[in-house]
Copies of this chain bind each other. A is one copy, B any other.
Amino acid sequence: MPRERTAEEGPVRVATEKIPVSTGPGMQIVDVTAALSERLRALGARSGVATVFVSGSTAALTTVEYEPGLVRDLQELFERLAPQGARYHHEGRWHDGNGHSHVRASLLGPSLSIPVVEGKLTLGTWQQVIFVDFDVPARERELVVQYVGE
Contacts and interface: CB of A to CB of B under 8 A. Distances in A.
A22 interface: no
Contact of A51 (B12, B68, B115): B115
A109 interface: yes
A38 interface: no
A92 B117 contact: no
A144 interface: yes
Assembly stoichiometry (copies) = 3
A16 B150 CA distance: 12
B73 A89 contact: yes
B53 A149 contact: no
A48 B126 CA distance: 30
Contacts of A76: 89
Given A144-B117, A144-B122, A9 B3 contact: no
Given A12-B14, A14-B149, A62 B110 contact: yes
A107 to B, nearest CB: 7
A146 interface: yes
Interface string A105-121: 11111111111010000
Given A53-B115, A56-B124, A77-B81, 18 more contacts: A8-B13, A9-B15, A12-B13, A16-B47, A48-B148, A51-B113, A57-B127, A64-B105, A65-B90, A69-B90, A69-B92, A69-B99, A70-B88, A74-B103, A106-B130, A110-B127, A113-B113, A115-B144
